[in-house]
A and B are shown apart, each in its own frame.
Chain A
């Protein structure tokens, strides 16, 4: 045949099979890797739109954790005298609010992402996983902006975390995975059951009180602390506090329990999400 045909033949290895959905093991993680540029564009869109529609733009990303920190410091710290283990209250609260607000915002964004993108989902195929993943990643931009303020606070309060700081990337990674695991579950559930989105704000609120944001996990009796780690955010937040302030004891066992839970959440979330994915274009 002619020249263009010969050229097209080279891509023949690319064969798609279209068949009824199979079992739960039918994950398409390879496809996700192919759509990594799409993840980039979704993150970029989320950020552009978020800041185009706000009056104060990126300042919002600083203001939110800052104001929360002021309120927490005032009421839980100065008035309720929650023990902070010698860490200055602003640092104590800000280092916990950073991962918490990231988690809360990412989970809420991920919950709505399938429904918000339903027009695109019903008109073109791409790895749907790109949507919750980009919700969780675009939250990181606000996190980084908020983190810059924390750097100034560290200088102001003379905090030198030392060696524990080396573990900070691990805790950040754990925070992202936690948000992803919960986000996968909730986004898939919300695509099928539309009232999930009304439940999520309550869920997030209860979760805040169940996590060591306003208080330290040292309030939990020593022998139950590993159990407290079943809440994956407990491990993440204590990890943040410890690695950023360098004070207190490393939350070893609790973090380990949290990490196992997070891996379980992500794995089960992937399976549940992809099960939903096969029918999503028919139901959204």
Chain B
């Protein structure tokens, strides 16, 4: 049995509500000082515990997965272990050098070249200068950006930036690596490469604590899983058992504290959603150009007479990508599955969010920002440069045909096959 490298004892982190959104202005502080003197006390409900009374141990060489719904405290826990934020109570002990990877491209600057950014980001992530020099060629090769290494980063496509960022991160060699959900985006081929690299790292005896929403990643990498729910460890143990329990809870919809539809005051509630087709391990993944079938589960506690149901798909930037609505739905007291079938959802890879709503005679009954997000990981076939790629990811073919015979040059009547335009987008050009 190898020894413990991370020991966490009833750690807790409390945030003030709204602390992250609002900054303090000096004048507010002065104004508050006067208010407090009048005897106003800060109420306890102004605080929320992101994490409370969490204890666990990790042994050397273990790969531990952290799962849980959004807001369960996974990232807070990683930030505590990475010392980015300090705990409010409890304590932890870590033996060994810690590297954290909470974001892709930490410290990247668009004005600097790829080469310069490798050094900068590497240093910020905790590599020494000598270490970066030693691994430089390897990083560049891993990222597949040899040709652009002296080009400013702002001219890179988002895919190239992502690859470079991963390459730097993948070559971090701390004894303990903390990884947040950074592998959720990017194209599948590169994701696989990164997973491979992480497996390599874990086999060399390093310890990894790893957050992911993608269960197949957890299955591939982890030996043990911790399921966080509302800031506490709900279950921890071997991968198959915990994942089974977690997925059951996801499907039953109890993963959402507020998504419990059986309170009699609530007329109707959306409980859960999932992708039915394509049928993958993930209940929220779309990775093809083909058919998409999704299901939303709605529980109705009191009859809906003149129902109006709307659905919208939003990008991560909050842009509405697609929306539609249906009128005159009448529903009795039961649980319903709303199933949408789309011939295709040709969107660029990334995270998207469904928003579903239900009205009865113009009165809002329920509106839900569906969790988890929809992860689109279809192979990108758009322009390699981000600014020319747009928001759709549609495979296309171009054919060029001569309409009027040219007088002089008759040589161009041959066929030119497969002219490559862009990185991943094969376009056939015919000249007849």
The 8 closest A-B CB pairs, nearest first, are A4-B205, A18-B92, A193-B26, A41-B123, A19-B91, A125-B83, A16-B94, A123-B103
Pull 26 A–B residue pairs with CB atoms less than 8 Å apart, ordered by A: A5-B2, A11-B97, A12-B96, A14-B95, A14-B97, A15-B93, A18-B81, A18-B92, A19-B92, A20-B89, A37-B123, A40-B129, A41-B119, A41-B123, A41-B124, A119-B106, A121-B84, A124-B100, A124-B106, A124-B125, A125-B82, A125-B98, A193-B26, A195-B26, A278-B86, A283-B23
- 9 further contact pairs, Cβ within 8 A, besides A11-B175, A15-B95, A194-B25: A5-B60, A8-B205, A11-B96, A17-B93, A19-B91, A21-B86, A41-B119, A125-B82, A195-B26
1/0 contact string of B111-131 vs chain A (CB within 8 Å): 110001001100111101100
B147 within 8 A of A: no
Among A40, A49, A125, point to the contact of B100 (Cβ < 8 A): A125
> What is the CA–CA distance of A119 and B86 in the complex, to the nearest angstrom?
17
B102 within 8 A of A: yes
* B85 adjacent to A38 (CB under 8 Å): no
> What is the CA–CA distance of A20 and B12 in the complex, to the nearest angstrom?
9
Residues of B participating in the A interface, judged by any CB pair closer than 8 Å: 2, 11, 15, 19-20, 23-27, 29, 60-61, 79-98, 100, 102-103, 106-107, 109, 111-112, 116, 119-120, 123-126, 128-129, 175, 204-205
Residues of A within 8 A of B119 (CB): 41
> What is the CA–CA distance of A80 and B120 in the complex, to the nearest angstrom?
50
Residues of B within 8 A of A52 (CB): 111-112
> What is the CA–CA distance of A19 and B92 in the complex, to the nearest angstrom?
7
Minimal Cβ-Cβ distance residue in B for A37: B129
> What is the CA–CA distance of A193 and B79 in the complex, to the nearest angstrom?
23
Residues of A within 8 A of B79 (CB): 281
> What is the CA–CA distance of A52 and B113 in the complex, to the nearest angstrom?
11
A126 within 8 A of B: yes
Tell me, rounded to whole Å, the shortest Cβ–Cβ distance linking B316 to chain A. Answer: 16
Residues of A within 8 A of B112 (CB): 45, 48-49, 52
Q: How many interface contacts (CB-CB < 8 Å) are there between A and B?
A: 132
A205 within 8 A of B: no
A282 within 8 A of B: yes
Tell me, rounded to whole Å, the shortest Cβ–Cβ distance linking A234 to chain B. Answer: 27
Residues of A participating in the B interface, judged by any CB pair closer than 8 Å: 1-2, 4-5, 8, 11-12, 14-21, 37-38, 40-41, 45, 48-49, 52-53, 119-126, 192-196, 278-279, 281-284
* B95 adjacent to A123 (CB under 8 Å): no
Residues of A within 8 A of B97 (CB): 11, 14
Residues of A within 8 A of B126 (CB): 124, 126
* A41 adjacent to B120 (CB under 8 Å): yes
Residues of A within 8 A of B100 (CB): 123-125
Tell me, rounded to whole Å, the shortest Cβ–Cβ distance linking B366 to chain A. Answer: 33
Among A18, A53, A119, A120, point to the contact of B80 (Cβ < 8 A): A18
> What is the CA–CA distance of A125 and B125 in the complex, to the nearest angstrom?
8
Residues of B within 8 A of A40 (CB): 129
* B60 adjacent to A193 (CB under 8 Å): no
> What is the CA–CA distance of A279 and B24 in the complex, to the nearest angstrom?
13
> What is the CA–CA distance of A19 and B8 in the complex, to the nearest angstrom?
10
Among B23, B81, B89, point to the contact of A194 (Cβ < 8 A): B23
Among A2, A8, A53, A126, point to the contact of B124 (Cβ < 8 A): A126
Residues of B within 8 A of A12 (CB): 95-96
> What is the CA–CA distance of A284 and B20 in the complex, to the nearest angstrom?
7
Residues of B within 8 A of A18 (CB): 11, 80-81, 83, 86-87, 91-94
Residues of B within 8 A of A125 (CB): 82-84, 98, 100
> What is the CA–CA distance of A4 and B109 in the complex, to the nearest angstrom?
36
Tell me, rounded to whole Å, the shortest Cβ–Cβ distance linking A77 to chain B. Answer: 39
Residues of A within 8 A of B19 (CB): 282-283
> What is the CA–CA distance of A220 and B402 in the complex, to the nearest angstrom?
89
* B123 adjacent to A193 (CB under 8 Å): no
* A282 adjacent to B89 (CB under 8 Å): no
* A4 adjacent to B204 (CB under 8 Å): yes
Minimal Cβ-Cβ distance residue in B for A191: B23
Minimal Cβ-Cβ distance residue in A for B94: A16
Tell me, rounded to whole Å, the shortest Cβ–Cβ distance linking B245 to chain A. Answer: 29
Minimal Cβ-Cβ distance residue in A for B100: A124
Residues of B within 8 A of A282 (CB): 15, 19-20, 85
Tell me, rounded to whole Å, the shortest Cβ–Cβ distance linking A152 to chain B. Answer: 32
* A281 adjacent to B84 (CB under 8 Å): yes
Tell me, rounded to whole Å, the shortest Cβ–Cβ distance linking A46 to chain B. Answer: 10
Among A8, A14, A16, A120, point to the contact of B83 (Cβ < 8 A): A16
Residues of B within 8 A of A49 (CB): 109, 111-112
* B60 adjacent to A8 (CB under 8 Å): yes
> What is the CA–CA distance of A89 and B93 in the complex, to the nearest angstrom?
62
Residues of A within 8 A of B85 (CB): 279, 281-282
> What is the CA–CA distance of A126 and B98 in the complex, to the nearest angstrom?
11
Most A CB atoms within 10 A — which of B80, B83, B109?
Answer: B83
> What is the CA–CA distance of A41 and B204 in the complex, to the nearest angstrom?
30
